[in-house]
């Protein structure tokens, strides 16, 4: 009579150990990959009301442009956004806080801090956080009367850019506010200057 041997136990235990190690490695890789996806930058979720502002078209300096009111949601920094304008003719330009107004702009002195964006009501020119209840302006650097168009138009043309973009009166101007970190749109729409 033969005695019992344990020859078959060792391969079964080896296979089981390999399966357990494979499952543990798969779990670690899966959790690491899930953590990486969770760290991806997301655009702030905010309710923004955007409206045109025409202070004056009488040849004097005026704070014309686009007013943005933050009505609720996540706070964001003006340094982390881009403001895209598409005019009636299809010309498109995207602005950031690094874009500077041309020297011959028609804004009142000191109102824009040399840039296109400015938080309304702030006491510090470096305060650029926009939270619910805050407002900021996206200033137009000039305005003209166009005999070709037959009406007024606002103008955006930073110093380093040859191409202009216009806000034609009584024509639709498209806009979008984009989160620079994620590339996602925070808000977009259309407006008409009058």
pLDDT tens, position by position, 71-108: 999 999 999 999 999 998 899 999 998 898 888 888 98
Would you call 149 exposed, middle or buried from its count of C-beta atoms within 10 A (0-12, 13-18, 19+)? middle
Higher pLDDT: 79 or 127? It is: 79
Contact criterion met (CB below 8 Å) for 133 and 75: no
Using the predicted structure, report yes or no on whether residue 45 has a pLDDT greater than 70.
Answer: yes
Residue 90, C-beta contacts closer than 8 angstroms, at least 6 positions apart? none
Give me the pLDDT at residue 71, please: 96
| Confidence at residue 60, expressed as pLDDT on a 0 to 100 scale | 83
pTM of the model: 0.77
- What percentage of residues in the chain have a pLDDT greater than 90? 49
Of 9 and 20, the one with more pLDDT: 20
How many CB atoms within 10 Å of residue 52? 18
Looking at residue 173, its pLDDT comes to 96
**Rounded to 10 degrees, what is the CA torsion of 179, 181, 183, 186?**
-20
pLDDT score at 1: 53
Question: What is the structure's pLDDT at 40?
Answer: 61
Mean pLDDT of all residues belonging to the chain: 86
């Amino acid at each position: 009579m033969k005695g019992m041997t344990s020859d078959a136990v060792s391969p079964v235990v080896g296979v089981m150990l390999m399966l357990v190690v494979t499952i543990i490695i798969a779990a670690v890789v899966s959790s690491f990959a899930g953590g990486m996806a969770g760290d991806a930058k997301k655009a702030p979720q905010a309710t923004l009301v955007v409206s045109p502002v025409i202070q004056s078209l009488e040849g004097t300096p005026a704070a014309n442009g686009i007013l943005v009111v933050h009505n609720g949601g996540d706070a964001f920094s003006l340094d982390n956004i881009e403001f895209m304008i598409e005019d009636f003719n299809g010309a498109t330009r995207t602005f950031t806080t690094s874009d500077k107004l041309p020297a011959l702009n028609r804004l009142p002195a000191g109102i824009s801090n040399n840039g296109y964006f400015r938080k309304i009501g702030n006491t510090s020119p470096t305060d650029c956080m926009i939270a619910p209840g805050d407002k900021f302006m996206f200033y137009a650097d000039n305005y003209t009367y166009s005999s070709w168009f037959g009406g007024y138009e606002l103008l955006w043309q930073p110093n380093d850019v040859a191409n202009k973009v216009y806000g034609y009166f009584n024509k639709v101007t498209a806009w979008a506010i984009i989160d620079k970190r994620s590339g996602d749109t925070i808000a977009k729409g259309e407006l008409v200057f009058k």
